[in-house]
Amino acid sequence: MSFPANRPRRMRTSPAMRRLTAETTLAPAQLILPAFVREGLTHPNPIQSMPGVVQHTPDTLKRAAAEAVELGLGGIMLFGIPAERDATGTAGTDPDGVLNRAIRDVRAEVGDELIVMSDVCLDEFTDHGHCGVLDDAGRVDNDATLEIYAEMAVCQAEAGAHVLGPSGMMDGQVAVVRQALDDARHQDTAILAYAAKYASAFYGPFREAVDSQLRGDRRTYQMDAANRREAVYEVELDLAEGADMVMVKPAMSYLDILSDVAEMSPVPVSAYQISGEYAMIEAAAANGWIDRRAAITESVLGIRRAGADTVLTYWAAELAGWLKEGK
């Protein structure tokens, strides 16, 4: 039958009816808060290109983690910004380095009430800004980098991270990290693999957030924006290497990729709503061009609808507060 017997508008007649028939929902536990901690700060440092986001001090980071527990967030993903950098990112493997100290601080603050995640990558720690060490020709040396990732992973697990996020897009990174963790008797430390991470123009504000020293680009190791099938291949490789969860990054410009991965993945799928996505909505809202709260909610709902089980978003705490208000 068709009109007039079929009237889909019946399912949209009121907020209560729309809630009843909603195919996709948002909940605080589906949200993960990315957070930056910078060595040497005495006060939080606002990130100009990401209004509302800061580089934390140890104390403000602990408060943010405690708030995340109160709001019921699923997790917090930590990024460290060291005071000194070098060619091999040694601050990343220092047990007393900024990121490992932050992991210990946050675990001491929240225990097991919040999943503490940490970034396994060298870009914040190298003086050239690449995600790996460079060979004599200035190219990123995949296999030499893997050795450092293994050391970083064990340090972060020792510091107390529940979940590690190898994000450098080095071939074999999940297998090497998994083996290193198992050899160090950290079998229960999980891996959230940045499996389909694209070279994107939308990372710009993140570079300010971590004070990136990058010269050039990362197109020889991050994925090409033109490629779709390759993402499934990358995910399959990470699953075979032992990934417990997989991620698509960025999110909003890659919803087709996210949908493909969600359809084939036997493990939970995350998507990272990255800095440029955040900044665009904040800028448009600041100019009065869009409704900020509605746009934020719709953007994250769209990522969930495309198939993400969890979403890393800089709005995680604010959005969780709105969701709690709604109840």
pLDDT tens, 175-195?
Answer: 999 999 999 999 999 999 999
pLDDT at 210: 67
pLDDT at 214: 72
Annotated binding site for Mg(2+): 234
Cβ(308)–Cβ(283) under 8 Å? no
pLDDT at 213: 75
Distance CA 232, CA 159 (A): 32
pLDDT at 218: 86
pLDDT at 15: 93
What string of H, E and C letters represents the secondary structure of the chain?
CCCCCCCHHHHHCCHHHHHHHCCCCCCHHHEEEEEEEECCCCCCEECCCCCCCEEECHHHHHHHHHHHHHHCCCEEEEEEECCCCECCCHHHCCCCCHHHHHHHHHHHHHCCCCEEEEEECCCCCECCCCCCCECCCCCECHHHHHHHHHHHHHHHHHHCCCEEEECCCCCCHHHHHHHHHHHCCCCCCEEEEEEEEECCHHHHHHHHHCCCCCCCCCCCCCECCCCCHHHHHHHHHHHHHCCCEEEEECCHHHHHHHHHHHHHCCCCEEEECCHHHHHHHHHHHHCCCCCHHHHHHHHHHHHHHHCCCEEECCCHHHHHHHHHHHC
Check pLDDT > 70 for residue 86: yes
Burial of 144 (0-12, 13-18, 19+ CB in 10 A): middle
Considering the entire predicted model, what is its pTM?
Answer: 0.96
- Please report which confidence band the pLDDT of residue 96 belongs to, taking 50, 70 and 90 as the band edges: very high
Check pLDDT > 70 for residue 150: yes
Peptide linkage before 268 cis (omega within 30 of 0):
no
Average pLDDT, the chain: 95
pLDDT tens, 262-304?
Answer: 999 999 999 999 999 999 999 999 999 999 999 999 999 999 9
pLDDT at 327: 61
Check pLDDT > 80 for residue 143: yes
Distance CA 151, CA 198 (A): 25
pLDDT tens, 191-250?
Answer: 999 999 999 999 878 777 667 777 778 889 999 999 999 999 999 999 999 999 999 999
Active site residues per annotation: 197, 249
Least confident of 26-40, 154-168, 174-188, 209-223: 209-223
Annotated binding site for 5-aminolevulinate: 207, 218, 275, 314
Average pLDDT over residues 29-50: 96
pLDDT tens, 52-82?
Answer: 999 999 999 999 999 999 999 999 999 999 9
What string of H, E and C letters represents the secondary structure of 278-313?
HHHHHHHHHCCCCCHHHHHHHHHHHHHHHCCCEEEC
Q: In this predicted model, which residue has the larger pLDDT, 261 or 213? A: 261
pLDDT at 134: 95
- Which domains occur in the chain, in start order? 25-325 (3.20.20.70)
Please give the backbone phi and psi of residue 126, each rounded to the nearest 5 degrees, phi first: -95, 150
Annotated binding site: 207, 218, 234, 275, 314
Residue carrying structure tokens 């070098």: 86
